[in-house]
């Protein structure tokens, strides 16, 4: 083991090895819909109510953690790559993290809470977690205590929904098919009625509740919002804002490298040419698909578009959230 992993106790080494050997298959065979769990939220696939509750109640975040809290299909993987590269991409001693530590240790509410134990034994200037958790499921006192920060993506809800619809057509979602129709108009109305088991939402709720929950923290210096559409059009400026928020000072050269590595084209190429088991899985989920703003116009009917506008206006009344279409 290289220096960073030199102090892992035997129990963590065993956990790492076991997880590495089994998690992709576990994702492919993950149970579909799970009954609402702790605090009434729905989980599916590898997202776990038990892990969420245990982390909330019993675990501390490592000092200087960065958590990406996203609603599905709002640019999670893109912004995740940007943050990850910012934190770990410019020093090769961190290469071992991607090589040796599989995704279950980076997904906050995924799999089990054991990940929190592993990170205690790895000395890093920052720690990083991805998450689909809504605000009430992250213990904000622990965020403050650990000097941690949270990045929340915002994407217009119509493109989010089109992206989600396309994503759900993957055969990997077969166990959830009765909740995630292949028929667009059925899919649309199930989404609008909060019937889909989207991680991590309550029955009857969805993206609007996720946004209004995080909006409660809009004035907190530990929370930063990134609009997908602004990141598309003003990439440099938005990446610099994320860097500033995280206290990172990027050189011009680093910024150019980071932009290239996380561009749609680069990420698509990596997704499509990857050959290991994880890469194949990611490819089958088509996580990097079109990456456009405004694709919803090809699919939404006028009345669907109006219904979405009305719902968002009603549920987000009192917030300053403005979508870019």
Query: Which residues of the shown chain bind ligand A3P in the complex (CB under 6 A)?
Result: 70, 72-78, 159, 163, 166, 262-264, 267, 287-291, 295
DSSP 142-195: HHHHTT-EEEEEE--HHHHHHHHHHHHTSGGGGGGTTTS-SSHHHHHHHHHTT-
Which CB atom, from 59 or from 258, has the smaller least distance to ligand A3P? 258
- Phi/psi of residue 32, nearest 5 degrees: -75, -110
Taking CB atoms, the residue at the shortest distance from ligand A3P is 291
Which CB atom, from 109 or from 159, has the smaller least distance to ligand A3P? 159
Which CB atom, from 119 or from 228, has the smaller least distance to ligand A3P? 228
Which CB atom, from 140 or from 264, has the smaller least distance to ligand A3P? 264
CB of 290 to ligand A3P, least distance (A): 4
CB of 135 to ligand A3P, least distance (A): 18
CB of 309 to ligand A3P, least distance (A): 19
Which CB atom, from 33 or from 264, has the smaller least distance to ligand A3P? 264
CB of 137 to ligand A3P, least distance (A): 18
109, 34 in Cβ contact below 8 A? no
The set of residues, in sequence order, having a beta carbon less than 8 Å from that of 172 and lying 6+ positions away, is: 27, 28, 281, 284, 285
CB of 284 to ligand A3P, least distance (A): 14
Burial of residue 30 (number of CB atoms within 10 Å: 0-12, 13-18, 19+): middle
């Amino acid at each position: 083991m290289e220096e960073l992993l030199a102090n892992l106790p035997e129990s963590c080494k065993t956990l790492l090895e076991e997880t590495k050997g089994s998690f992709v298959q576990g994702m492919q065979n993950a149970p579909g819909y799970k009954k609402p769990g702790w605090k009434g939220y729905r989980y599916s696939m590898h997202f776990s109510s038990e892990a969420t509750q245990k982390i909330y109640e019993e675990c501390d975040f490592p000092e200087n953690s960065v958590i990406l809290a996203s609603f599905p299909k709002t640019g999670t993987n893109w912004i995740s790559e940007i943050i990850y590269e910012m934190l770990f991409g410019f020093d090769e001693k961190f290469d071992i993290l991607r090589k040796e530590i599989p995704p279950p240790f980076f997904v906050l509410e995924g799999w089990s809470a054991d990940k929190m134990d592993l990170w205690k034994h790895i000395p890093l200037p920052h720690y990083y977690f991805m998450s689909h958790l809504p605000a009430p499921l992250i213990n904000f006192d622990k965020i403050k205590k650990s000097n941690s920060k949270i990045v929340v993506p915002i994407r217009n809800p119509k493109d989010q929904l089109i992206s989600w619809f396309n994503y759900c057509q993957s055969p990997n979602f077969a166990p959830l098919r009765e909740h995630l129709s292949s028929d667009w108009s059925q899919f649309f109305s199930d989404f609008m009625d909060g019937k889909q088991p989207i991680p991590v939402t309550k029955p009857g709720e969805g993206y609007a509740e996720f946004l209004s929950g995080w909006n409660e923290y809009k004035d907190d210096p530990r929370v930063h919002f990134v609009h997908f559409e602004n990141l598309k059009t003003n990439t440099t400026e938005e990446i610099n804002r994320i860097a500033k928020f995280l206290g990172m000072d990027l050189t011009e050269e680093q910024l150019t490298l980071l932009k290239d590595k996380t561009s749609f084209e680069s990420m698509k190429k990596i997704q499509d040419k990857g050959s290991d088991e994880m890469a194949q899985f990611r490819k089958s989920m088509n996580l990097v698909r079109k990456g456009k703003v405004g694709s919803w116009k090809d699919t939404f009917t006028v009345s669907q578009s109006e219904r979405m506008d009305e719902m968002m206006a009603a549920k987000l009344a009192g917030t300053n959230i403005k979508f870019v279409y």
